[in-house]
Each structure stands twice: as C-alpha cells, then as structure tokens.
Amino acid sequence: MRKPDNPGRINSSGCAAFNATAKLRKGLWSPEEDEKLVNYMIRNGQGCWSDVARNAGLQRCGKSCRLRWINYLRPDLKRGAFSPQEEDLIIHLHSLLGNRWSQIAARLPGRTDNEIKNFWNSTIKKRLKNISSSPNTSDSSMDQPRDGINGRLRSNQEHNMMGVYMNPSSSSSALSSSTWQLPNMALNPMNLDPILPILDQQPTGIVGSYFDVQPCNAQGGIFGGGNIDFEGQFLVPPLESVNNEPSGKMGNLVEKSTADVMNNMNSIINYNQCNNNNNNNNVNNKLSENNVRIEGLCWEGDELRMAMGEWDLEELMKDVSSFPFLDFSSRMTSHWT
C-alpha cells in the first residue's frame, strides 16, 4: 500500500491534462473519496474519466479514478481468494496468452487484470518456481514456460501453442501437485470441466472451446504414449472482443461438433506432420459414433489467428515437429475403445 500523498502535491504521473490547473491527490484512497466516486458512478455511469474526477468532486486525475473504480469499487467485482478452478484457468490461459493480463481477466468474470497479475506474481509464479527447482529444472526464470521434464526454456512460439503447467489432478488446486508435467494434449469431449459454469456468463451464451489434456506419466515420459488417463483440463473461453466483432473482420464464431473440432485442430497443427492417420480416423470415428458434441467455439485459419491475437500460426507451425505432444492421434485411441 502507499501512503496518501499530501493533497497539495502536484501530480507528476500521466495525468497531464490536470497538472497545470489542479493539485491532485495521490496514494491511497480515503473512504470519503471512494464514496464520492461510487455515488457519482451510480448516478451518472461511466463517461470521460477526466469529467468523472472533476464532477465527482475528487482531487484525483481521471486515470486514478478509473483504476480505483475498475480494480476496487466496481460492484461486479468478485472478492476473496481465487478458487482452485480459477487458479487452473489462470495458469492455462497464461500458458497460452503470456502476460496479457487483461485478456486473461476478460475470461475470469469479477476479476481484474491487476488482481490476476498480482496473484500470478506473488503466488503462482512462486509455486511454479518451487516445482521447477528440482535438480533438473534449476533455471529460476518463470516468465517463460518450461519443459517440466528437463527444465528447458521454450520459445514463445512453443509457449503459445501448448498448454503448459497442466494439472494432473484435475480440478484440485493446480499447483499443489508435486507431479506437474507438460501435457500431452488430446481432445476429450466426454469430461466436462467444473470450470464450465464460468462460461455461462459469456454474453452470447455460446460456450467456449473445450479441450482436454492428457497428463504425462510420472516417469517423465511425456511423449511415451501408453494408457491415457484424461484428467487435466484445459479451457479457453472466447474473448468477448472476438464475440463482438462483426463477422468477416475477426472471423465467424461457429458452433461445431466434436468431429469438426478435431478436424479443425488437425488442420491447424498441420496434421501431415503426424504419421498415424489410422489412429486419427479411429478417434474421429469414435467421436462420431458416440454422437458427442462439444458446444465449441472454433476458429479456422485466419479466424483462429485473429482469435489468438494475431499470432502467426504459420510461423508457429514451422516447428510443429518439435511439438510431439500435439500429436493427438497417437495417444487417444486407447481411451476410446
């Protein structure tokens, strides 16, 4: 926390528009200031933040008001500790999005980017660091995702394409497990995620893409195949910004069947790199037989690229051979028989 500055102190931050004419407060907000801001927002709603600060009678810059409202006073904020499900989701999303806290926060209703950022830096990062501090994972930097087996730092491209830090124990607190491994990724439409209710809050009512991940075995054989135990889960609700974009610009959002999801994913990862077509067919057939359906948001080609924030998938796919965990087919068959 910061000590409230003298009210007379000239603001030297980014609130340039006010500096010349007003002496602005900095530091912690008093209850009176909070009350003024809340009352104003309730009465007038959000407008230009400079006007909010002025009209609410606050000696604060608009930027400060905005932050206070967004991070603390907003009525729809969820308070209290992060649930294990939220932890899981944050970790999964961070593995995909990196430090795009606002993007992550957009998928966690009631949580702010600041809150998630703090939570990550103080709690999750530390736990991951502890996990990675085994003899084989001595590198201390946790800003990059790492291979849970040998501690090798992965490139951002690898990072973006994989779900890292997957939790083998499913919905329990993700990082409480000492057996964290990189996932072998596989689709599992059968296993509904306890996080799913979060998605009900998506404005369109469309449920987001849902993929499951397969934890690697405890012996470190992440690419070893073998029996599949679908436990770890992986969920990426859609970006609201994507939802709101007109079709044609950001891509259409389409509800698709599980088989379609499979096909999309296969095309996305340039499935030609994977050899076992029989297994792939086997999986798709199995999905079709069971008439299983994922209420999924899917993006194809450019659509997916846009949805993933302009990442160059072709670039990402260049090294697809270095992502054996993306080979769904060779690890799924035993589960479906």
Partner DNA sequence: AAACACCGCAACCGCTTGGAG
Partner DNA sequence: TCTCCAAGCGGTTGCGGTGTT
Residues that bind DNA (CB under 7 A): 1-3, 5, 11-14, 16-17, 25-29, 47-50, 62-64, 66-68, 71-72, 99-103, 113-115, 117-119, 121-123, 126
User: Smallest distance, Å, CB 99 to DNA?
Assistant: 4
- For tokens 């194809």, what's the residue? 300
Q: How many CB atoms lie within 10 A of CB 12?
A: 10
User: Smallest distance, Å, CB 229 to DNA?
Assistant: 31
Sequence-distant (≥ 6) Cβ neighbours of residue 298 within 8 angstroms: 209, 253, 254, 256, 260, 261, 264, 304
Q: Which of these, 100, 135, 137, 133, lies nearest to 239 by C-alpha position?
A: 100
CA distances to 26, 185, 217, 237 from 229, rounded to whole Å, are: 53, 11, 9, 24
Nearer Cβ to DNA (64/157) = 64
- For tokens 């961070």, what's the residue? 94
User: Smallest distance, Å, CB 140 to DNA?
Assistant: 13
User: Smallest distance, Å, CB 86 to DNA?
Assistant: 13
Nearer Cβ to DNA (64/85) = 64
CB distance 335 to 190 below 8 Å = no
CB distance 105 to 113 below 8 Å = yes
Nearer Cβ to DNA (79/138) = 79
Nearer Cβ to DNA (25/256) = 25
User: Smallest distance, Å, CB 182 to DNA?
Assistant: 22
CB distance 236 to 96 below 8 Å = yes
Nearer Cβ to DNA (271/311) = 311
